[in-house]
A and B are shown apart, each in its own frame.
Chain A
Amino acid sequence: MARELPIGEYVSDGVDFLLDHAQGLFDGIAAGIEFVSGNLTDLLQATPIWAVFAVLAGLGLWRVGWRFALFVLVALYVILGMDLWEQTMDTLGLVLAATLVALGIGLPSGVAMAKSDIVAAVVRPVLDFMQTLPAFVYLIPAVLFFGLGEVPGTIATVIFSMPPAVRLMNLGIRHVPVENVEAGRAFGCNGAQLLFKVELPLAMPSIMAGVNQTIMLALSMVVIASMIGAGGLGNTVLTGIQRLDVGLGFEGGLGVVILAIILDRLTQSFGSRSTADSPLSRLKSLFSRGSEESSKG
């Protein structure tokens, strides 16, 4: 039965064409992503458990407060207790790698959008597409191009999680007050100085909101990515589903939630507070505030 608009055929023809002619390109991309996510995961796996505890709790203490640091310690202990440490580090590596790639592509795209209305008009529908197309749809070509494993998982995650970083970078720069931009220009900034000394710092809350969203979306892809062999906590959940093992599925889910809470609070703290604060001054205010709180509590 011949359809009038065989879009599906065009797409699969296109994918076939790319497979035949652009395999080198995909190998290159795969190698790049492999490098980032492989190294990150290896690094995380090689890091002693106590060091992960120390770094995450330390960050929590610095950026958020002692209560949160305490939560981090307990939450990580729960993961350790569920015997999901290795999976959690795999997932963390995947999420961080996907986020790095998404930000590496997304943030500059956002800047380009903010600087040019034409770029913005072209990029916006692409972003809509990336965000609304069901993830399973691009899992198939991802597997075709990159095979099973961590790489296609990362790529699918990148596609799904990148849009907010682009959008919020664009929005943040466009919303920098006109007079601040004028001040920058009036004092003799060239293009790069204007971007780095005025626009990016003033857009920082918005940018950090974008980074936060990207990380959260990346985490939400964990289970789906594990369907094409990305491993990690997603695999635990998937196994739970396949075996109808409610307990196992819950443990995997809990691990994801814990990671989400830690990453969310940490990245949010970078958005809401002045990033110009030196760690030292933060540390000082932390001690004064910490003692206040504890005397109150």
Chain B
Amino acid sequence: MDSKLAVQGVYKVFGGDPREALERIKRGEDKDTIFAETGLTVGVADASFSVEEGEVFVVMGLSGSGKSTMVRMLNRLIEPSAGSITLNGRDITRMSRKELIAVRRRSISMVFQSFALMPHQTVLQNTAFGLNVSGMKREEREKRAMEALDAVGLKANADSYPDELSGGMKQRVGLARALATDPEILLMDEAFSALDPLIRTEMQDELLRLQSEQARTVVFITHDLDEAMRVGDRIAIMEGGRVVQIGTPDEIVRAPANDYVRSFFRGVDVSHVFTAGDIARRDQLTVVERSGMRLRAALSRLDQSGRQVAVVNDRARVLQGVVTVDSIAQQLESSVGGKDGDIESAFIDDPPILASTPLTDIMTRVAESPWPVPVVDDEGHYVGAISRATLLLTLDRQDPEASEEEASHGA
């Protein structure tokens, strides 16, 4: 009961008496069979998840997978056929109409894909809609609405009408209207899907900024993986009415539960999900474990392995430096009488990458480096190295098997 919002075994069946369909779902029949044999549509089947205070919980899935149905059951715009939904430990599904209206006015508000503003009202009146409905005095509600408009940067447009605004501005009003009632939970059903890509990214940033100022509990619906990974703290993936996987973005990217989940990542830009540590591999570079090694010994190690570059660690696996065949040979030549020296003397100036760096930020570095670039963790421990080939393979995830293999290597 610690979760802000807990969904337990929730079902929604459209089109008549749900019992028959519920029986069949429990027997394991799928949505299409049930529809063909009973004419009932399964919107959501056996969904369970919990949303923690202050997190952005994303529900993702293809069209028709039940996302809208799911989110509308959270404020009972759609009545669940079975299951419980608890907000702060109180079961919403058992509330009377009056209690439900109170919850909608105070605790849960919603942002819509088509904005759903009232065309006959000004931006300010639209923003104050929820407060107006709950009977707040005009002066007070307009003051609060103005604050909400200020928060989304639309104070100057308070007296405009919705049809005078661009799509992005309209959705800011939608957002302000939802924020004005100071809800505990914000439901956003494809709130940014109707916007063009640039504005869409801008609105995602806006949401992230608002979250950084005051972390609200948000349930965010989208069918777009990039969006899900940008805004989501955790993602639930729905398929045919069922929740098939729940996890943080990188948990899901690293270990997709099935082919359906995996199919989302095809052609998706994963460079901001993976970090250097995720794809660094141990077998890219020769590792010299004793920092006290002499130059000639190191050279013969490299010779044996047939590699050009070695990393030098101390006994605690903390990276000391990087040597190359060339740098050792140079050192041996320049030393008086070819005298064998300390391996430290052949270290080249090639700082390692931190394991937590996102791939986006290491691309140039790896691409320009003649050899795999070593990666260290926050304590300086050697984690592995990233070659150009590894990086390219990861970015071009045409073959899920190969990238999965890589991901597990990195772990």
Interface residues of A (CB under 8 A from B): 177, 179-180, 182-190, 193, 197-198, 201-202, 204, 274-276
Please judge, given known A-B contacts A177-B114, A179-B112, A202-B120, whether A187 and B129 are in contact too, CB under 8 Å.
Answer: yes
Q: In the complex, what residues of A have CB within 8 A of residue B110's CB?
A: 182-183, 186-187
* Nearest chain B CB to A89 CB, angstrom units: 34
Residues of chain B lying within 8 A (CB to CB) of residue A202:
118-120
Given A182-B77, A197-B133: A188 in contact with B104 (beta carbons within 8 A): yes
* Chief secondary structure at chain A's binding surface: helix
User: In this assembly, does B222 line the interface, its C-beta being within 8 Å of a C-beta of chain A?
Assistant: no
The reply on B241 being an interface residue by CB < 8 A is: no
A186 adjacent to B133 (CB under 8 Å): no
Chain B residues within 8 Å of A204, by CB:
120
B118: shortest Cβ distance to chain A, in Å? 7
Restricting to B238-257, which residues have a CB under 8 Å from any CB of A?
none
Q: Is B109 among interface residues, defined by CB-CB distance under 8 A?
A: yes
User: Which residues of B lie under 8 Å from residue A180 when comparing CB positions?
Assistant: 116, 118
| B: number of interface residues (CB 8 Å) | 29
Known contacts A185-B77, A274-B161, A197 near B132 by CB under 8 Å: yes
Quick one: given A187-B133, A188-B133, are A201 and B109 in contact (CB under 8 Å)?
no
Instruction: Assess the A186–B75 pair: CB atoms within 8 A.
Output: yes
The answer to the question of B102 belonging to the interface, with a C-beta cut-off of 8 Å to chain A, is: yes
Decide if A187 touches B181 in the complex (CB within 8 Å). Answer: yes
Q: Which residues of B contact A (CB under 8 A)?
A: 72, 75, 77, 101-102, 104-105, 108-110, 112-116, 118-122, 129-130, 132-134, 161, 177, 181, 187
Query: Given the complex, which residues of B lie within 8 Å of A186, measured CB to CB?
Result: 75, 77, 104, 108-110, 187
Question: By the criterion CB–CB under 8 Å, are A276 and B77 in contact?
Answer: no
Residues in A with CB closer than 8 Å to B133 are 184, 187-189, 193, 197
Tell me which residues across on chain A come within 8 A of B104, comparing CB atoms: 185-188
By a CB distance below 8 angstroms, the chain B residues around A274 are: 119-120, 161
Chain B residues lying within 8 Å of A187, measured Cβ to Cβ, are: 104-105, 109-110, 129-130, 133, 177, 181
Question: Contact: A182 with B112, CB < 8 Å?
Answer: yes
| In the complex, chain B residues whose CB is within 8 Å of the CB of A275 | 120
Q: How far is the CA of A185 from the CA of B132 in the complex (A)?
A: 13
B105 proximity list for chain A (CB < 8 A):
187-188
User: Which residues of chain A are within 8 angstroms of B129 by Cβ–Cβ distance?
Assistant: 183, 187, 197
Instruction: Say yes or no: B116 contacts A188, CB within 8 Å.
Output: no
| Nearest chain A CB to B166 CB, angstrom units | 18
CA distance A201 to B117 in the complex (A): 12
Question: 4 new A-B pairs (CB below 8 Å) besides A177-B114, A188-B133?
Answer: A179-B116, A180-B116, A183-B112, A190-B101
Q: Which residues of B contact A182 (CB under 8 A)?
A: 72, 77, 110, 112, 116
For B102, the closest partner residue in chain A by CB is A188
Closest partner residue, chain A, to B119 (CB atom): A202
Residue of A nearest to B75 (CB): A186
| Residues on B with beta carbons closer than 8 Å to the beta carbon of A183 | 110, 112, 116, 129
Give the residues in chain B near A193, CB-CB below 8 Å.
133
A184 to chain B: which residues have CB within 8 Å?
133
Q: List 29 A-B contacts (CB under 8 A).
A: A179-B112, A179-B113, A179-B114, A179-B116, A180-B116, A182-B72, A182-B77, A185-B104, A186-B75, A186-B77, A186-B104, A186-B108, A186-B110, A186-B187, A187-B105, A187-B130, A187-B177, A188-B105, A188-B130, A189-B101, A190-B101, A193-B133, A197-B118, A197-B132, A201-B120, A202-B119, A204-B120, A274-B119, A276-B120
What residues of B have a CB within 8 angstroms of the CB of A198 in the complex?
A: 118
C-alpha spacing A176/B274, complex, angstroms: 45
Q: How far is the CA of A180 from the CA of B115 in the complex (A)?
A: 8
Across the two chains, which residue of chain A brings its CB closest to B129?
A187
Closest CB in chain B relative to A38 CB, distance in Å: 36
Chain A residue nearest in CB terms to B130: A187
Q: How near does chain B come to A80, taking the closest CB pair, in angstroms?
A: 39
> What residue in chain B is nearest A201 (Cβ atoms)?
B120
- Chain B residue contacts of A197, Cβ below 8 A: 118, 129, 132-133
**Shortest beta-carbon distance from A111 to chain B in Å:** 18
Q: Roughly how many angstroms separate A17 CA and B104 CA in the complex, as a whole number?
A: 55
CA distance A46 to B75 in the complex (A): 57
Complex CA distance for A23 and B118, rounded to whole angstroms: 48
A187 to B112, CA, bound (A): 12
* Chain B residues near A177 (CB-CB < 8 A): 114, 116
Chain B residue nearest to A179 in the complex (CB): B116
- Chain A residues with CB below 8 A from B122, complex form: 276
List residues of chain B with CB within 8 A of the CB of A201.
118, 120-121
Q: State A202–B121 Cα separation when bound (angstroms).
A: 10
Give the distance in Å from the alpha carbon of A189 to the alpha carbon of B101 in the complex. Answer: 7
How many whole Å from A269's CB to the nearest CB in chain B?
A: 16
Q: Tell me, rounded to whole Å, the shortest Cβ–Cβ distance linking A191 to chain B.
A: 10
| A177, B117: Cα distance in complex, Å | 10
Chain B residues near A276 (CB-CB < 8 A): 120-122
> A179 contacts which chain B residues (CB < 8 A)?
112-116
- A190 to B99: give the CA distance in the assembly, Å: 12
Q: Which residue of A lies closest to B122 (CB)?
A: A276
- The CA of A197 and the CA of B119, in the complex, are separated in Å by 11
The 3 closest A-B pairs by CB, nearest first: A188-B105, A179-B116, A188-B104
